[in-house]
A and B are shown apart, each in its own frame.
Chain A
Amino acid sequence: MLTKRLIACFDIINGMVTKAYKFQNNINVGSAVDIACKVYEDQVDEIIFYDITASAEKRKIDIDTVRNVARHVFVPFTVGGGIKNLDDMYEVLKAGAEKISIDSMAVRNPGIISEGARAFGSQCIVLSMQVKKVERTSKIPSGYEIAIDGARVFTGMDAVEWAKKGEDLGAGEICVNSIDRDGTHSGYDIEITSLISNAVNIPIIASGGAGTPEHVVEIFTKTGASAAIISSMLYSPLMKRNYQVKEIKCKLMEHGIPVRPWIEGYINI
C-alpha cells in the first residue's frame, strides 16, 4: 500500500536554510547540506529545496548547493526557484535532483509545465502554488487566490482553477502552500488542501502550518493529501519544541495512517 509522505522543505538563501513567518522575516537556521543530512538520517521521506530569492532576484538557482545535497541524501529531492526553461531544468536534474518545482514562473508562462513534462515526464514536474484565503467572487469562486514572488504579488487567479489547469498541462504533483498558515504552527489549511485534492487526480502535497503531530494526522484524515511538509516541526528554532520523524510517524500509525516504517540502525548498510 502506498504510504503517506513526510517532507522536509528548506528555503535556501546563499546555501543557508532560513525560516520565515508568513513568507517574511527570514532567519538563518544552518547550512543546507548539514540540515539535509540530519533530516535524511532522521528518515524523512523526501526533501524539497526552494532557492527562494532566485526568482525575485531574476538569477539562476544555486546549483552547487543542489549538487552537494544530492551527494549526501538518498531520498527524493525536489528543487525549485528561478527555473525558467528546459535548460535550467536539465541542469538541476543533472546535479542530482529528482523533481523540479515551478511556482511563479509557471504563472508567468504556463507552457513551461507542459514543456517540462514532455521532456522529463510528468513525475518530474511539481506545480507549487502560494494560496491565500480571500473573499469569494465570480473570478475567485474557491475563495483562494494565487500569489507569486514570495507572496508579494497577487494574480487574481483562482487556486482550484489553477490546480486543474496545472494537471491538464502535465504537472505530476501539486504543492499547496498556504500563505496564511506559513510559519504559524497552527495547523494546515484543511479547506484549500481538500478543495484541490478533490479537484485533481494527481498527488497533493500540503504545506504551511504544521506545528504538532496532530496537525499531520488531521491533514491526512480530513483531506486527500498524499504528502505533508513538516519542516518547522523538525528544525525551526521558532518552535517551542522540535519533533523527530519517528515521533510523527508513531502518531500517524496510531491513527491507522500508512507510513514508511521507521527503521532502527537505518544507515548501516
Chain B
Amino acid sequence: MIGIIDYRVGNAPSVLNALCSLNIDSCLVSSPGQVEKCTGIILPGVGSAQATMDSLAEIGLIRVLEDKVLNKGLPFLGICIGLQVLFEYSEEGDAKCLGWFPGIVKRFPDQLVRVPQIGWNEARFLDKHPVLADLGKGEFFYFVNSFYVVPEKEDIMLAKTWYGVEFCSMIAYKNIIAAQFHLKKSGARGLKLLKNFAMWAGIKSNGKAGG
C-alpha cells in the first residue's frame, strides 16, 4: 500500500486519483500510526515550504518519517514542495526545512523570467533509475513553482531543467526520490513515473492501468 501524506495545504486527493486510475493500492495518511502499513510514502505539496513544515509538525509526522525513511529505508517520493522541504532551508518565508539533504531552496530570478514558472518543461535525466523505466532521456512534465532546490552534493541530482537558470528538477538517493514537477498532472508520462515508483516500492498494479 502506498501512503499519500494528506494535509490541508497539500493536494493529496489528486495523487490518490492518479494512483487509483493505475489500480495501485493506496491510501491517505494523516497520522503517524497510518505509516505502519505503508510500503511506500508519497509527500505531495502545494502552498509554501513553511505551511508544509507546519502541517507535518502538527500531524506529528516528522519523527516517524525520519525513522521510517531515513533509518529503515521506506521508499519515499516527494513532489514539488515535497522535494523542497527535504533540504535545510527555503528562501520562501525564511523556512527551516527537514534538512535530510544539505542545500537550500532559492527563488527564480524575477528579472529574467516570469515567476511562478507555470507550464510544461523538459526534465533531462542525468542517470538511470528504476523509476525512469520506459521513459526517454528527457521528458516534459508540468511545473508550477517559484522556488527551486540547490543541492550541495551534485551526485543526488537525477534531472535538470532550464528556466532562466539551470535547476535541479529531480533527486535520487538510496530509497528516496523527489521531483519538482507534478507527476499526477503530467499526463501519461507523469503517471508512468508514478507507476514506476509504486513498482519500485514493491506494489503490483492490479490489472490494466487506465488514464
Q: Which residues of A contact B (CB under 8 A)?
A: 1-5, 40, 43, 45, 70-72, 74-77, 90, 93-98, 119-124, 172-173, 201-203, 226-227, 260-261, 263, 266-269
Contact = CB atoms under 8 A, between A and B. Distances in A.
A26 to B, nearest CB: 29
A70 B16 CA distance: 11
A25 B201 CA distance: 53
10 contacts: A2-B163, A74-B21, A74-B190, A90-B8, A96-B14, A98-B14, A123-B118, A201-B115, A226-B118, A269-B188
A226 B13 contact: no
Nearest to A97: B14
How many interface residues does chain B have, given as a range? 35 or more
Contacts of A120: 9, 46-47
B74 to A, nearest CB: 25
A254 B97 CA distance: 45
Given A70-B13, A95-B13, 8 more contacts: A1-B122, A3-B140, A45-B119, A70-B17, A74-B18, A77-B185, A93-B11, A121-B46
A266 B139 CA distance: 13
Contact of A3 (B116, B119, B146): B119
Contacts of A123: 46, 116, 118, 144-146
Given A123-B46, A269-B192, A74 B185 contact: yes
Given A5-B119, A98-B11, A263-B188, A124 B211 contact: no
A203 B185 contact: no
Interface of B: 8-9, 11, 13-14, 17-18, 20-22, 46-48, 51, 110, 113-122, 140, 142-146, 162-163, 182, 184-192, 195, 209, 211
Contact of B114 (A3, A93, A201): A201
Question: 5 closest Cβ contacts across the A-B interface?
Answer: A260-B120, A123-B144, A260-B140, A121-B47, A269-B209
Contact of A226 (B110, B114, B190): B114
A96 B47 contact: no
A119 B47 contact: yes
Contacts of B182: 76, 98
Given A2-B163, A74-B21, A74-B211, A227 B119 contact: yes
